[in-house]
Structure 1
Amino acid sequence: MAYTVNCSILLTELPLLERPAAAKAAGFDQVEFWWPFAASVPTDAEVTAFERAITDAGVQLTGLNFNAGDMPGGDRGLVSWPARAREFRDNLDVVAGIGGRLGCTGFNALYGNRTPDSTPEEQDALGVENLVLAAAAVAPIGGTVLLEPVSGAEHYPVKTARDALEIIGKVHAEGTLNVKLLADFYHLSVNGDNVDAVIAEHAADFGHIQIADAPGRGAPGTGDLPLGDWIAASRRLGYQGSIGLEYKDDAASAFSWLIR
């Protein structure tokens, strides 16, 4: 099974740049990250240090988020946020540059919360426009932009696979096809989506899968979700990518479920 460790939510006892090596020491060859910088356009030194942490660890970067704003503060992306559209667009070349140098091809574009200073229609029009631009930015390196339904964010409008696929359909109608669904089985389940049906209908077209158990967003086996069955069904139906480990656990026990 090809797992990729999300080093933005796991191994957090360590400084961020030490986590790729820790993932390697735990037996993994792939890692993914949320946006690891404070700004959309970090300094050259910051980018170099991040890239060196990946290459020195001997792991493959499989996924990277576009800048999603202040995640601890409640932000959930800049894609559809008019007041921060420039920040999002300034971020595109930086993300594509990192992806190109490290061979990363999966890029998660969190859609953004609804804002009081714009209508949903205005935000959705901007969202499609920015997804098209993001897809164009990563297309030369074989990149795919991922759109993710998210739970636990009241004002985030993309909660189900259908929500995401409706937006993706509008992007595809613009002639841009390298935008796909990120199927996070935890978020879909917590939001009440029918995960079995989503897999049956769309697994072959998933851009990426991420997992955590529920309740609690812990490691597989700590909750009630049939994650193994869902992964196996996705594989049978054509999904060939890696499985992102995006759950919360202490470093000492984070991967003990694999031994079991």
Structure 2
Amino acid sequence: MSLPLPPSVNCSIVLPDVPLLERPAAAAAAGFDAVEFWWPFDRSVPSDAEVEAFVTAVSDAGVTLTGLNFAAGDMPAGERGILSDPARAAEFADNVDVAVGIGSRLGTTGFNALYGNRIDGLAPQAQDDLAAEHLALAGRAAARIGAVALLEPVSGVDAYPLKTAADAVAVLDRLASDDVRLLLDVFHLAVNGDDPAAAIDRYADRIGHVQIADAPGRGEPGTGDLPVADLLDRVYAAGYRGRIALEYKPVTADPFGWLAGPRAAVRSTA
């Protein structure tokens, strides 16, 4: 498997046992020059000191923060985004300002805006209208620093309404803005029964970012049945020119061992 650009590593899932502020340096020591994170704070609007500590950790490690999630609520409890929740509208808007501020200092090119679970007692249309408004806001904010907002189909939570690439693209069509693009995670699509290869072929011009993990299991490529190398060849052949993000749960002794070939291009120090 060869990658035209060095991959980025999602420190939130690949390095869960390393203290948060040490993860950028750990990624650099493993040979990576780019990282991404889920929202790294326990609240949507962290203190200035928390932000500075995070920015310093990334900067001192010498890596670029290519991707950052907006606040997504309590993910361990099952929440998957707050942008479609009317009760948290002001919170999301404030979070966008903080996230894009961090990204402007660390070279971030993509901000993942998880759509939010369906809320009992609230009409889906009301949630969709608010989500569209908030996605447009996030896209405009990201565009100001030369980045995009990203919308992702997700598996594992029944209440999350975007399961397939077509689900997400329908939202993008409603927005009609290049400021918000599809985040294509081959694992989530495969687990949801959506063919990643067909999604690439159909929506290549909508893809803003690509994440990989094998399926089943969400481990490193080669630990499941998903033809990850073929899918990456396909996405590049279709015109994608961005980085590939490693977003898997390590299940082997060396979570980067499958990258033995390309690691020379990843500035390997291991």
Calculate the TM-score normalised by the size of structure 1.
Answer: 0.96
The residue type equivalent to 1:179 in the other structure is V
Alignment partner of 2:43 out of 20, 39, 43: 39
The residue type equivalent to 2:119 in the other structure is T
Q: Does residue 76 of structure 1 match 2:77?
A: no
Instruction: Map Cα deviations across residues 171-199 of structure 1 (whole Å, 9 max, x no partner).
Output: 11xxx321000000000000001211111
Alignment partner of 1:15 out of 1, 19, 26: 19
Q: Is the 8 A contact 2:219 2:251 kept in 1?
A: no
Q: 1:114 and 1:224 mapped to 2: Cα distance?
A: 31
SS of equivalent residue, structure 1 residue 192: coil
Partner of 1:222 in structure 2? 223
Partner of 1:205 in structure 2? 206
Alignment partner of 1:154 out of 152, 158, 180: 158
SS of equivalent residue, structure 1 residue 207: strand
Q: 2:252 and 2:106 mapped to 1: Cα distance?
A: 25
SS of equivalent residue, structure 1 residue 20: helix
* Count of residues paired in the alignment: 257
Question: Aligned ranges for residues 104-115 of structure 1 at < 5 Å?
Answer: 104-115=108-119
Whose RCO is larger (CA < 8 A, sep 6+)?
2
Question: Aligned ranges for residues 1-260 of structure 1 at < 5 Å?
Answer: 1=3, 2-172=6-176, 176-249=177-250, 252-259=253-260
Q: 1:43 and 1:135 mapped to 2: Cα distance?
A: 24
Q: Is the 8 A contact 1:82 1:118 kept in 2?
A: no
Q: Is the 8 A contact 1:79 1:85 kept in 2?
A: yes
Instruction: Map Cα deviations across residues 81-102 of structure 1 (whole Å, 9 max, x no partner).
Output: 1221121111111011001111
Q: Is the 8 A contact 2:220 2:251 kept in 1?
A: no
Q: Which runs of 4+ in 1 moved over 2 A?
A: none
Q: Is the 8 A contact 1:146 1:181 kept in 2?
A: yes
Q: 1:40 and 1:12 mapped to 2: Cα distance?
A: 20
Give 1:135 shift: 1.0
Gapped runs of 5+ residues in structure 2?
262-270
Q: Is the 8 A contact 1:159 1:191 kept in 2?
A: yes
RMSD: 1.2
Give 1:12 shift: 1.2
Q: 1:27 and 1:40 mapped to 2: Cα distance?
A: 31
Q: 1:108 and 1:12 mapped to 2: Cα distance?
A: 19
The residue type equivalent to 2:203 in the other structure is H
Q: 2:252 and 2:105 mapped to 1: Cα distance?
A: 29
SS of equivalent residue, structure 1 residue 101: helix
* Overall identity of the aligned pairs, in %: 59
Gapped runs of 5+ residues in structure 1?
none
Q: Is the 8 A contact 1:12 1:251 kept in 2?
A: no
Give 1:11 shift: 1.3
The residue type equivalent to 1:234 in the other structure is V
Could you say if the C-alpha distance between residues 29 and 251 of structure 1 is closer, same or farther in structure 2, counting changes exceeding 3 Å?
Answer: farther
